[in-house]
Amino acid sequence: MFVAVPELTDAPVPSPSPAVVPAARVHPLRRVMRAAAPYLYLTPAVALLIVWTYRPLIQAAQLSTYSWNLLPTTPMVPVGADNYRRLLELPTFGDSVWRTVVLVVGLLPFTLVLPVVVAFATRGVRGRSRAVYQSLIFAPFLVAPVASAAVWQWLLDPGAGVINRVLGSDTNWIREPATAQWVIVLITGWHFIGFAVLVVSAGMAGVSGHYAEAAQVDGATRRQIDWWITLPLLSPTLVFLALMTVLLSAQWTFPLIDTLTQGGPSQATTNIYYLLWDYGFHSFDAGLSAAAGVLLFVGFGLIAGVLVWLSERISFHDD
Amino acid sequence: MTTSESPVSEPLWRRAWGHAVLVAIALACIFPIYWLLATSLRRPDDVGSLSPIPWPLSLGNYVDAVEKVDVIGLLLNTFAVSAVSAVGQLFVALLASYAFAMYSFRFQRLLYLAFVGTWLVPFQVTMLPNYVLLYQLGLINNLAGVIVPTLCSALGVLMLRQHLDSFPKELVAAAKMDGRSSWSILWTVVVPNLRPALAALSILLFINAWNEYFWPAVVLQRSNSVVQLGLRSFMGTEGNDWGPMMAVAGLACLPVFALYIVLQRHIVNAFVRSGLK
């Protein structure tokens, strides 16, 4: 499952459609049709958006004020802000938020730092060999999460797995509370790193060479050029990747956690996304799950807002 | 993708260093995938072997896997779900992006932001109300229930809109002069000229749908009828039967890899372009 985050800030305003040659007398019905046309084209998409995204968002907010166990036969009992109070008193909730922060920060080396280093180190590689490397490092991005869970479970198996046999250890990486979270980070990073490298390379391709040339004439070293010119010009790409890491950690880690650890061992991999699932479909506490969901949505909105604001502030636009 | 001509000439040692870095990363990325396929192709008695080349090759693990799980049925189900989902998303996105690119109308920005905003809504947040709605529609444990919630793809709308914004407007204007309706212009002028973009997007949507885990896990709680869930339940019941498990995992990736081997450059470009505004 993959989404792309576009520029949230300035959606391009399309140029007005070319003027239609004014007909002597346009039939009024046709004029109405012409004005309604864009809305008619948008109807299926917007209807689906409302039904599957915005309606449930509002309903989740309503649901968060009820106590309900998801069974159609039991009544929903209004409890006001009780779910939120319970949630904030539960140590699991705070812990899971903290684990989510650790997860996202742990992913950044894979989605931001390493890709930038690799993209810079490999500028000189061109042509056919470059295409071969690209298709190899991109491949993990297309592996289904469950298949990758299966193969990593095999690689990390305490007795027969390759990794332990090469290291000569018998650590049960997935079942150790100290390492389970890092296994999830490693696998997610493995999925994502190739994609991030290609995004950074594409971003670098879009940076004009004139500034570097001018700086070189002024006697700047290559390192100075990279650090003070190329990297700042790449900032929109970097902000995009950071935003992507935050937004996608929800989608990418969930299948891995659900198949490998089910949130264990002793809650070590229960991040906020898995906790919502657990409250909803294991504890059948719909109100609590919805309340946590509302808080998560607000948090997401704030983080995205801050990142977009940052990109506006620090972006050096190349114009 | 080639990087812009850097003004600094690249000495040989730097190129060699670049190759070394890329080889290391490429090996690390490809090894798990290679190991998955290598394990699945070993003889069932050699599964634990560490030899890098699976020799003698054997399909024994695949035979075992097919005996234990109805892999073929799962693959057919998954293929049907992914194909219907991709075609549906493509159609809905095409109509919506056509409206955004070819018209100016009231609430245009607001509606556009409504599409962008879907990324701020993690599906774990909307999961319960959607589950209840699917339940009321009688779509739980039904493949249609996996498809319907995914039909509106904001990704598709944004990507096609970018392509349509750079579409030669003269063509559309000329067709308008002929007095053709916007509907016929869409199908006779725009779609034929947009074929490469539509093909790239449909592959991307198909791969996303094939690898989808969350919706099937919510909707098919008791029937495990797509390959991702079949593999999950296999992992649960046959915990340490690595050979057949790798065979099922390999089959779960097979169509995507087949597409990738044939169309790798297009797929890479489609995904990367979708990630750049």
* pLDDT per position as a tens digit, A241-265: 998 898 888 788 999 999 998 887 8
Among chain B residues, CA nearest to A297: B121
Of A60, A147, A250, the CB nearest to B129: A60
Interface of A with B in 229-258 (CB under 8 A): 236-237, 240, 244, 247, 250-251, 254-255, 258
Determine the average pLDDT of the residues in B48-69. 87
Nearest one of B114, B56, B44, B159 to A52, comparing CA atoms:
B114
What is the distance in angstroms between the Cα of B69 and the nearest Cα belonging to chain A?
A: 15
Determine the average pLDDT of the residues in A97-110. 93
What is the distance in angstroms between the Cα of B198 and the nearest Cα belonging to chain A?
A: 17
**Can you give the pLDDT at residue A240?**
86
Interface check for A105 against chain B (CB to CB < 8 A): the answer is: no
Domains parsed from chain B with CATH numbers:
65-275 (1.10.3720.10)
| Higher-confidence position of A50 and A131 | A50
Find out whether B205 and B9 touch, Cβ atoms under 8 Å.
no
* Chain mean pLDDT for chain B: 88
Least confident range of B16-20, B71-75, B244-248: B16-20
Reported as a single tens digit per residue, the pLDDT across A145-167 is: 999 999 999 999 888 888 988 88
**Can you give the pLDDT at residue B276?**
53
* Chain mean pLDDT for chain A: 84
Dihedral pair phi/psi, residue A198, rounded to 5°: -65, -35
Residue with tokens 């193969």: A151
**Can you give the pLDDT at residue B47?**
85
Which of B140, B213, B233 would you mutate first to test chain A, the one with the most A CBs within 10 A? B213
Chain A partners within 8 Å of B248 (Cβ): 150
**Can you give the pLDDT at residue A127?**
77
Least confident range of A3-12, A284-293, B99-108: A3-12
**Can you give the pLDDT at residue B26?**
92
Q: Is the pLDDT of residue A1 over 50?
A: no
- Over chain B, what HEC string results? CCCCCCCCCCCHHHHHHHHHHHHHHHHHHHHHHHHHHHHHHCCHHHCCCCCCCCCCCCCHHHHHHHHHCCHHHHHHHHHHHHHHHHHHHHHHHHHHHHHHHHCCCCCHHHHHHHHHHHHHCCHHHHHHHHHHHHHHCCCCCCHHHHHHHHCCCHHHHHHHHHHHHCCCHHHHHHHHHCCCCHHHHHHHHHHHHCHHHHHHHHHHHHHHHHHCCHHHHHHCCCCCCCHHHHHHHHHHHCCCCHHHHHHHHHHHHHHHHHHHHHHHHHHHHHHHHHHCC
Interface check for A44 against chain B (CB to CB < 8 A): the answer is: yes
Dihedral pair phi/psi, residue A78, rounded to 5°: -70, 130
**Can you give the pLDDT at residue A315?**
61
Size of interface A-B (CB pairs under 8 A): 362
Chain B partners within 8 Å of A136 (Cβ): 26, 29-30
Dist CA A313 CA A239 (whole Å): 11
Dist CA B105 CA A36 (whole Å): 9
Least confident range of A217-221, B74-78, B99-103, B143-147: A217-221
Dist CA B190 CA B169 (whole Å): 10
What is the distance in angstroms between the Cα of A88 and the nearest Cα belonging to chain B?
A: 17
Dihedral pair phi/psi, residue A67, rounded to 5°: -110, 125
Q: Is the pLDDT of residue A316 over 70?
A: no
Dihedral pair phi/psi, residue A77, rounded to 5°: -100, 120
Nearest one of A179, A177, A142 to A163, comparing CA atoms:
A179
Reported as a single tens digit per residue, the pLDDT across A268-310 is: 888 888 999 999 888 889 999 999 999 999 998 898 889 888 8
Neighbours of B250 (CB within 10 A): 23
What is the distance in angstroms between the Cα of B201 and the nearest Cα belonging to chain A?
A: 12
Determine the average pLDDT of the residues in A188-195. 92
Cα separations in angstroms, B114 against A15, A132, A240: 20, 39, 19
Q: What is the dihedral of CA B201, B91, B88, B108, to 10 degrees?
A: 90
Q: How far apart are the first and last CA of chain B?
A: 16
Q: Is the pLDDT of residue A7 over 50?
A: no
Take residue A170 and report the two structure tokens written for it: 């018998």
Which of A151, A172, A175 would you mutate first to test chain B, the one with the most B CBs within 10 A? A151
State the burial class of residue A21 (Cβ atoms within 10 Å of its Cβ: 0-12, 13-18, 19+).
exposed
Residue with tokens 């490998």: A260
Which of A7, A8, A41 would you mutate first to test chain B, the one with the most B CBs within 10 A? A41
Of A137, A157, A212, the CB nearest to B26: A137
Q: Is the pLDDT of residue A16 over 50?
A: no
| Higher-confidence position of B83 and B272 | B83
Percent of chain A with pLDDT over 70: 90
Query: Sign of the C-alpha dihedral, residues B149, A2, B236, B226?
Result: positive
Interface check for A301 against chain B (CB to CB < 8 A): the answer is: yes
Of A45, A206, A281, the CB nearest to B157: A45
Residue with tokens 């030899």: B51
Percent of chain B with pLDDT over 90: 46
Neighbours of B192 (CB within 10 A): 9
Cα separations in angstroms, B20 against A136, A190, B14, B164, B195: 14, 19, 10, 41, 39
Q: Is the pLDDT of residue A12 over 70?
A: no
Residue with tokens 């990142």: A307
Residue with tokens 């489609």: B270
Find out whether A15 and B173 touch, Cβ atoms under 8 Å.
no
Dihedral pair phi/psi, residue A143, rounded to 5°: -75, 130
Beta strands in A118-222 (DSSP E): none
Of A6, A133, A206, the CB nearest to B26: A133
Cα separations in angstroms, A18 against A96, A161, B130, B180: 54, 64, 42, 14
Beta-bridged to residue A244, according to DSSP, are: none
CB half-sphere exposure, A31, CA atoms < 13 A: 7
* Cβ partners under 8 Å of residue B262, min gap 6: none
**Can you give the pLDDT at residue B92?**
96
Determine the average pLDDT of the residues in B244-249. 93
Chain B partners within 8 Å of A110 (Cβ): none
Q: How confident is the model at residue A202 (pLDDT cuts 50, 70, 90)?
A: confident
Dist CA B235 CA B32 (whole Å): 17
Interface of A with B in 57-86 (CB under 8 A): 57, 59-60, 63, 70, 72
